[in-house]
Every structure is written in C-alpha cells, then in structure tokens.
Amino acid sequence: MTHRPEPPELLALDPVVIEGASGPAAAPLSAPAVRCRHVVKIYEAASGRVFAVRGIDLDVEGGCTTGVVGPSGSGKSSLLRMIAGLELPSAGSVEIDGIDLTSLSTKRRARTRAQLVTHVHQRPPDNLLSHLTAAQQLARLVPREADPDVVADALQTLGLDGHHDHRPAELSSGEQQRLALARAIVAGHRLVIADEPTAQLDGESTRAVLAAIDRLAARGVTVLVATHDARVLPHLQQVIALRDGAIASITEAGTERAVIDRGGRLQLPMAARDAFSEDRAVIRVDDDGNVRIERP
C-alpha cells in the first residue's frame, strides 16, 4: 500500500465507527433544530446538470455547534444555503425548528428565514451594510417588542462595545465577523449558519470569532459552520464530513462515524480510502455483529 500525503482539508479522526443505515436518519427523542431528509440539489449549467447534493439525511440538535467539512465541491455551501432557506432543494425536505421550508411559499420562507436564521458569509464585508454603523447594523434587526438595550448588550457580549458608531470599513475583519454574529443575538435567532467565517481571518481574529461562536452556543443558539479551518474544529460538538454531495462521516465526541445511506452505500473517510488503493474492500461481519472492512 502506498501512503499518499494527507490533503490539508481532510479530517483524520480515529477510530471510525460504521453505523447501520438507521443511524443518523433515526429520529431523536427531542425535535432537532435542523432536519434534512433525502435532500438533493441539482444545478442546471450550460455544460449540463451538476449534482451538488446527493440525498443527505441530517439532524442537528438545538444548541449544538456543528461543523460541515469537506473538499471544495463536496456540497457544503449548497447544503448550508438550503438549510438557511436561501435555496430550495431539488428534492427532499429541510426543516428548521419543525418548519418544513420546502412547503412554504417564497414570502413565508423569507419571513421564516428572517425570524429564525442568521447567515454569516465567508467574506466579512458581505455580512454588513457598508453605510451603517455597528449599532445601526444591529438596531435594524431588533424586533419592536425587544428590549432596546439588546444592541448594546450584543455588542458587549461579542466584545464590540467600543465600536457602536463605527462603520464596517472602520472595523477589522474579525470585528466585522463578530458583528455579523451579533446579529443573531439582537434578532433572537435560534440558528446561525456560517459559511467559512474564519477563512479570511488571522489567528487572533479567528480566536475572537470562535469565542463569539462559543458565546452564542452558550446562549443556546444552534450554530452550523462550514469550514476548512482546523482551528474551528475543537469548538464544534459535531462535525459532518461531506464528499461528492453526500455525508461521508459524522464525528461526535471524538468518534468519527461513517454513514451508510439508504441505498446501502458506505463512504469511507479519506484516510481509510487510502488503504484501499484498488477501490475494493472486503466487509466481514462477525458473530457479534461487528463489521470489519479489510483489504481484498
């Protein structure tokens, strides 16, 4: 077996546990904050159809910080955009707080999105309106019935209390991202979806953003983060690895679990795939029900 160098974006977490098909798809006891069922996303392009997401089943518990990882083109952004209600799946359903986004009209979906979700883009300037100050950015999101001090509170919570009157151009990238996260606090959102929020940040800014995410999680906010950044992983309770539009593994509490989809297909983690150079494996199930994958 030839050992190939590990690509930087891959996660190599051992040991890998292979679950049955009912694993992640099984309904948890409490209603999850995010539930995806058989989600498929197909883009129509000039060169033909592009299958971005190929039937994902996923549950994310409320208050959980979840990472979505995978190589470029694996479907991370498409999945997160569908969960955020920014796009509709080509097939399947996406629920947030028990609301099936696919069954809503455009208007109601937009309203639901406005009520439930904060979306944080990769580029800090994309999350803010350039002409408003930090306080104004947040104030416009505060519901009428909310406490007027919520803006100051949010800014203080995320370490931005000295920047009330600063416009985005006067803030660092890390501060901009934290301000973007603060929107969730003032808007009372229960779900934050961040698409590589630290990709353009230096170490110190990254740490500040991660601290902000921790604070959000402490407030019970469900955080869903797509990332390539290994520094983010320790802050996540659950990591979902995607490959070719499907879930390759789910890692919780240091245990990486491979996923068998409804068609019985198993995606091995990349590190495990490297062990099978001919893309062939022998699967043995012993008397105790343990499954072993061996090289042929």
Partner 1 sequence: MTDRRAIAAWLAVPWRDRALLFALMAAAATPAFLIASADLWRSAAADEIARRVMVDAPATDDEVVVETPAWLRPDEVMAADDAARTVFDEADSLGPARRTVVLPPSPRDVLETDEGASIRVPLRLVHHEGADTDLDLTANVTTDGGIGIWISTWLAAEFGLAAGDRLTSRECVDVPADRCVRTVPADGFTVLGVTDPLWREPGDQGPVATVDGLDAALVPQFIAPFGLPNFAIVFVDEPTMADLGVQASMVWRAEREEAIDGLRSLESATAEIRTIERRFVQTPSVAGPVAELAAGAGAVDVRSTLPTSLATTRSLIADLDQPFAAARLAGVALGLAACAAGGVFVVARSRREFRLLAGEGDRWPEFAGRAVAQSVAPAIVGTVLGVVLALVVAEAELGVGRFDALDLRPILVVAVVAVAGNALATGIAGERSLGDRPPLASAELLAAGLLVMAATTALLWFQVGRGNRDGGVDLAVVLLPIAGLATAVAIVMFGIGAGLRRTTGFARRLGPMRLLLWRRLDGGGVGERTVVAFTAVAIGVTLLAGALVETLDRTLTRDLATELGGATRVELIGPLPEGVVLPERTTVIGLSSTRVSPGNRAATVIMVDPGTVADAVVWPDDIGIDLDVALDLLASDAGDDLPALALVDQTLPVTGGFGLRDVVRYETVGRLRSAPLASAGEPSLLVAADRLDAFVADERARVGAAASLRPPSREARQRLVSALGAAEVQAFLDDLDVRYRNVVTDDARRADADIVGPRFAFGYLRWLGIVAVLIATVALAFQLSARRAVRSLTTVLTVRMGASPNRLALVTAAEIVVLLVISSVVALLAAQPLAARLLPRFDPTPDLPPRPELVWSFGPLAVRIAIVLVAVGATVWASERWASDRQAVEVLRDTPT
- Taking the complex as a whole, the smallest distance from the CB of residue 44 to partner 1 amounts, in Å, to 5
Both tokens assigned to 263: 């068609």
119 lies in the binding site for partner 1 (CB under 8 A): yes
Query: What residues contact residue 126 under an 8 Å CB cut-off, 6+ apart?
Result: none
Q: Interface mask (CB under 8 A) for partner 1, residues 37-76, using x and -? A: ------xxxx------------------------------
Report how far residue 60's alpha carbon sits from residue 24's, in angstroms, rounded to the nearest whole number.
10
Q: Which is nearer to partner 1, 1 or 45 (CB)?
A: 45
- Taking the complex as a whole, the smallest distance from the CB of residue 128 to partner 1 amounts, in Å, to 7
Burial code (b: 16+ CB inside 10 Å, e: under 16) for 269-287 equals bbbbbbebeeeebeeeeee
- Which residue in the set 102, 136, 172, 237 belongs to the binding site for partner 1 (CB under 8 A)? 136
110 lies in the binding site for partner 1 (CB under 8 A): yes
- Which residue in the set 23, 73, 125, 188 belongs to the binding site for partner 1 (CB under 8 A)? 125
131 lies in the binding site for partner 1 (CB under 8 A): yes
Look up tokens 């893309």; give the residue.
Answer: 279
Both tokens assigned to 39: 């989600």
Residue 17: strand pairing partners? 257
Report how far residue 80's alpha carbon sits from residue 82's, in angstroms, rounded to the nearest whole number.
5
- Which residue in the set 16, 71, 121, 159 belongs to the binding site for partner 1 (CB under 8 A)? 121
Binding-residue total with partner 1 (CB under 8 A): 40
What are the φ and ψ backbone dihedral angles of 39, each rounded to 5 degrees? -80, 125
- Which residue in the set 12, 26, 27, 146 belongs to the binding site for partner 1 (CB under 8 A)? 146
Q: Which is nearer to partner 1, 4 or 49 (CB)?
A: 49
Side-chain-side CA neighbours of 162 within 13 Å: the count stands at: 5
Q: Are residues 262 and 55 in contact, defined by beta-carbon separation less than 8 angstroms?
A: yes
Q: Which is nearer to partner 1, 50 or 283 (CB)?
A: 50
Judged by DSSP in three states, 153 sits in helix
Both tokens assigned to 157: 């919570």
Q: Interface mask (CB under 8 A) for partner 1, residues 184-223, using x and -? A: ----------------x-----------------------
Report how far residue 182's alpha carbon sits from residue 140's, in angstroms, rounded to the nearest whole number.
12
Residue 90: strand pairing partners? none
- Taking the complex as a whole, the smallest distance from the CB of residue 123 to partner 1 amounts, in Å, to 7
What residues between 75 and 94 interact with partner 1 by CB under 8 A? 77, 81, 84, 86-87
Q: DSSP of 162-230, one letter per residue?
A: T-TT--GGGS-HHHHHHHHHHHHHHHT-SEEEEESTTTT--HHHHHHHHHHHHHHHHTT-EEEEE---T
Q: Which is nearer to partner 1, 136 or 237 (CB)?
A: 136
Q: Which is nearer to partner 1, 121 or 273 (CB)?
A: 121
141 lies in the binding site for partner 1 (CB under 8 A): yes
Site residues (vs partner 1, CB under 8 A): 43-46, 77, 81, 84, 86-87, 106-107, 110-115, 119, 121-123, 125-133, 136, 139-144, 146, 148, 200
